[in-house]
């Protein structure tokens, strides 16, 4: 089993759609979780941390379920500029990345 | 404030050669990590350094080595390059658990 697994994608959605990405992790002792965004041929950029209580940043909502070892990211009212690859990251002393899920938002 | 800076941005090397990649962390960050990202995959952890000491090593061969200097900058060295070493090499600096990445060095081995 991979340490961090994500929906394979790709996701192709129209502007204004709501899209959800899922991620599972294998180490039940993991403590820190993040979503990063990576544009084509660019470096990953921190989108948001994921807290146990769930957290929201504008149109983005992240959820953590420790019992199921599951992380999610919800994007509401998708914009063209949201098109990117979204990386699920678990920090176990070093950062473990999922393979990423590619999102394309179309007009 | 300057972000994480890496040099060079692009590099072409021949099989068997050696390469050194450089990274300057964000000012005040003492932890530097290196990652390899091949096309279609997420970044894979190579090394982490904190206060000049190696704190972690990923599943990479001994051809990969790194060090951190007193000013917290870091170098990644790869010996005896293979075609499979072609990738984007990312450096990240951390104040705590979050990581901030440089733009990467794109290495092509021919």
The residue among B14, B46, B11, B33 whose CA lies nearest residue B93 is: B33
Task: Please count the residue pairs, one from chain A and one from chain B, whose beta carbons lie less than 8 angstroms apart.
Answer: 45
The residue among A62, A39, A60 whose CA lies nearest residue A52 is: A62
Indicate yes or no: CB of A95 within 8 angstroms of CB of B55.
no
Q: How far apart are CA A72 and CA B19, in angstroms?
A: 39
Q: What is the pLDDT of residues A55-94, one digit of tens each?
A: 999 999 999 999 999 999 999 999 999 999 999 999 887 8
Question: b vs e for A28-37, b when ≥16 Cβ sit within 10 Å of the residue's Cβ?
Answer: eebebbbbbb
| pLDDT value of position A93 | 77
Indicate yes or no: CB of B104 within 8 angstroms of CB of A43.
yes
Looking up tokens 């962390």 gives B25
Q: What is the pLDDT of residues B37-58, one digit of tens each?
A: 999 899 999 999 999 999 999 9
The residue among A2, A26, A11 whose CA lies nearest residue A73 is: A11
Residue A23: CA count within 13 A, CB half-sphere: 28
Q: Which of residues 9-38 of A touch B (CB under 8 A)?
A: 32, 34
- For residue B35, which residues of chain A lie inside 8 Å, CB to CB? 95, 97
Q: How far apart are CA A98 and CA B7, in angstroms?
A: 26
Residue B14 has pLDDT above 80, yes or no: yes
Share of chain B above pLDDT 70, in %: 99
CB nearest A99 (choices: B41, B90, B102): B41
Strand A11-14 relative to strand A101-106: parallel, antiparallel, unpaired?
A: parallel
| pLDDT value of position B96 | 81
- Smallest CA–CA separation between B17 and chain A, in Å? 25
Q: What is the pLDDT of residues A7-48, one digit of tens each?
A: 878 999 999 999 999 999 999 989 899 999 999 989 999 999
| pLDDT value of position B1 | 61
Residue A51 has pLDDT above 90, yes or no: no
φ and ψ at residue B94, rounded to 5 degrees: -135, 135
Q: Is A87 on the interface with B (CB under 8 A)?
A: yes
């Amino acid at each position: 089993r991979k340490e961090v697994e994500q929906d394979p994608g790709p996701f192709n959605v129209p502007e204004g759609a709501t899209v959800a990405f899922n991620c599972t992790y294998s180490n039940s002792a993991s403590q820190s979780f993040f979503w990063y965004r990576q544009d084509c041929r660019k470096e990953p950029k921190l989108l948001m941390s994921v807290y146990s209580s769930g957290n929201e940043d504008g149109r983005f909502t992240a959820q953590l379920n420790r019992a199921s070892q599951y992380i999610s990211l919800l994007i509401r009212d998708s914009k063209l500029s949201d098109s990117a690859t979204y990386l699920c990251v678990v920090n176990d002393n070093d950062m473990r990345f999922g393979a990423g899920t590619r999102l394309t938002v179309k007009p | 404030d300057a972000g994480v800076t890496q040099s060079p941005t692009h590099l072409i090397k021949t099989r068997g050669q050696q390469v050194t990649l450089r990274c300057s962390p964000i000012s005040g960050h003492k932890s530097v990590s290196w990652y390899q990202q091949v096309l279609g995959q997420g970044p894979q952890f190579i090394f982490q350094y904190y206060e000049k000491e190696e704190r972690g090593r990923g599943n990479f061969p001994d051809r990969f080595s790194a060090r951190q200097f007193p000013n917290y900058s870091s170098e990644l060295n790869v010996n005896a390059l293979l075609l499979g070493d072609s990738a984007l090499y990312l450096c990240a600096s951390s104040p705590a658990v979050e990581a901030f990445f440089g733009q990467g060095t794109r290495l092509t081995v021919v």
